[in-house]
Structure 1
């Protein structure tokens, strides 16, 4: 966003420097405004636990009371984010806008630029190409707006799952099945997202766990493109040409559901297979409920719940309140014993957010930031994990 400082920068004279100082002093600009354009926190930092009682600061001036969501595609996980954000916006009296960019990073950048020009107050964005969005998201942060992202920086509130732990929870369930139902032997397909460095630890956990079993062979370790059901279907069709008998498939729910479709199309699905995913998508939950489906587990990262929390913190930011800099989305292994409560939480994330015990089973919050300290935004791949 242009400022008096930006307009005067580069003139290279003592007079311009004196004039700039006078403008800053006379206008009463805060330190945060004077630091507009700061790179944020770029080195790995461990944040303290979020303090909800931290002092408030100034609300950002000149921005609209609005919340926008730039959504990369329509997979269930991201639709859940939309559901939570929309509910939070309604509850807090914010205008809500969703923009679907269909895996097009250039379109996402264009839409974010439009929202910046419209003085959006709060923005949440996802993209298959985080690096392409980075500079534009920084400009939104410099404008004073709230920016929330899911896994990659930059953001005033960055969400991440403890990725290694997420992968380990799923892998442990698969290993238990292999030992109990498959005699300790299995041919495994990993449908990865290793091309996104921020998600790579979950697949490291899968390899670490499975490689400890001498009877297990990983016959395919591949990243589908795009990361959708269709991408998983196409990739699994290719895998089955060389390896028609597969016992275990692990990955994100969307791609593993595509793999299940490919297995069924070829008549290669079996009740004793273990297909497991991450995200807790509705179709995966439906498969688990059947009991005789190859789909045995999904690790929930309850997107409506954290979407609602992001919307609430966006509204808090616009009121000048202190919010977390980072938030863990805690992995939960879905079973028949907890599916009913889980589905109730998906439908009504506001009730989860209002109940500290239920909320803390899904989310853990770190650090503090507000408009006045927005130069401390997260601009590194934050994780609460040391691995």
Structure 2
């Protein structure tokens, strides 16, 4: 059997091959790390309490997904419900990943101030939705109290015209949400100013249709002389309508906020006690929240998005405008 001895040229060729393989391997690892970094830099994380059980907010999230894709970003969505600790801990897991931006609806603005500071210190842009923080990069200004006033003023007009300015109403809010508390404040302020003899006899938490049905049924038993339900979410108002012994009662005023398709269509029909909605352009807001986050991350364009509410009542041009957004 013969034995071959490697020549210097053979060794050199073998060494070159090994070096080339090593370079390729290192490049592949570096490429994977770079790709992961780029992925994080094209990610916007959204912490939005209770969106999963609120139809109007689901429309916003769908619009946000579409706008994010159009701008080359992916979304990470989290619904912490009413659990502040969960909201904080989840956001704190996002910060080390160096996402491009975090959008947060604060269950407690004071509690999130420190988290926002951590995020911005790490180079993550922070967009506050519905409230304002000192350490934010941008804001989705929902004008919550102003929106509540729109609903309160529509209710006051109806009570003044139909009941001589008197009546008893219940308000459906959400005590654990700063945004909802602001809406309730706006509703009540408008009633005090425009129809001071309309009495708020009950306040109860209700956001979904099911919660609205249950809450309204209980309140009608406790207060059979109620003349209205005003809710910070149209879904809860629609539930209240289902709980009425007479959905067409001429002595009842039901109103909500956000302008869901089902609610607007019911108001447009004009044959029930559901009479008004302080309506938003939900699709525009979903797109707007992504735009301000992307603008902040890219360092160009506005980083504040402000909304307005349409006083949608049967036969009004505002109702037609709000319905057109769902077409």
- TM-fit CA distance, 1:322: 4.7
* Number of the residue aligned with 1:217: 199
Q: 1:316 to 1:127 in 2, by over 3 A?
A: closer
* Number of the residue aligned with 1:38: none
- TM-fit CA distance, 1:62: 9.9
- TM-fit CA distance, 1:215: 4.9
CA distance in 2, matches of 1:209, 1:152: 21
Contact 1:103 1:127 in 2 (8 A): no
* Number of the residue aligned with 1:20: none
Contact 2:276 2:312 in 1 (8 A): yes
Contact 1:271 1:292 in 2 (8 A): no
Q: 1:119 to 1:164 in 2, by over 3 A?
A: closer
Residues 1:241 and 2:221 aligned together: yes
CA distance in 1, matches of 2:39, 2:78: 23
Q: 1:142 to 1:97 in 2, by over 3 A?
A: same
- 1:83-122 equivalent positions in 2, closer than 5 A: 83-122=62-101
- 1:1-387 equivalent positions in 2, closer than 5 A: 64-73=41-50, 74=52, 75-154=54-133, 155-193=136-174, 196-197=177-178, 199-211=180-192, 213=195, 215-220=197-202, 222-224=203-205, 227-252=207-232, 253-263=234-244, 267-272=245-250, 273-324=252-303, 326-335=304-313, 336=315, 337-345=317-325
TM-score normalised by L of structure 2: 0.74
Q: Encode CA deviations 1:167-202: one digit per residue, 9 max, x unaligned.
A: 222222112222333343322112234654555454
- Secondary structure at the aligned position of 2:171 is classed as strand
Higher mean displacement: 188-197 or 71-80: 188-197
Q: Which has the higher contact order (CA 8 A, sep 6+)?
A: 1
CA distance in 1, matches of 2:326, 2:293: 20
Contact 2:138 2:296 in 1 (8 A): no
- Secondary structure at the aligned position of 1:334 is classed as strand
Q: Encode CA deviations 1:146-185: one digit per residue, 9 max, x unaligned.
A: 2222223433222233344322222221122223333433
Cα RMSD, aligned residues only: 2.9
CA distance in 2, matches of 1:304, 1:205: 24
CA distance in 1, matches of 2:195, 2:226: 16
- TM-fit CA distance, 1:219: 2.0
Unpaired runs of 5+ in structure 2?
Answer: 1-36
CA distance in 1, matches of 2:148, 2:283: 21
Q: Which structure: larger Rg?
A: 2
- TM-fit CA distance, 1:114: 2.6
Q: 1:177 to 1:84 in 2, by over 3 A?
A: same
Q: Encode CA deviations 1:331-373: one digit per residue, 9 max, x unaligned.
A: 21124434454344357xxxxxxxxxxxxxxxxxxxxxxxxxx
CA distance in 2, matches of 1:228, 1:248: 18
* Number of the residue aligned with 2:4: none
- TM-fit CA distance, 1:311: 0.9
Q: 1:290 to 1:72 in 2, by over 3 A?
A: same
Between structures 1 and 2, the one with greater helix share: 2
CA distance in 2, matches of 1:233, 1:327: 34
Q: State the aligned residue count.
A: 282
Contact 1:105 1:133 in 2 (8 A): no
* Number of the residue aligned with 1:380: none
- Secondary structure at the aligned position of 1:144 is classed as coil
TM-score normalised by L of structure 1: 0.64
- Secondary structure at the aligned position of 2:325 is classed as helix
- Secondary structure at the aligned position of 2:165 is classed as coil
Contact 1:106 1:132 in 2 (8 A): no
Contact 1:70 1:125 in 2 (8 A): yes
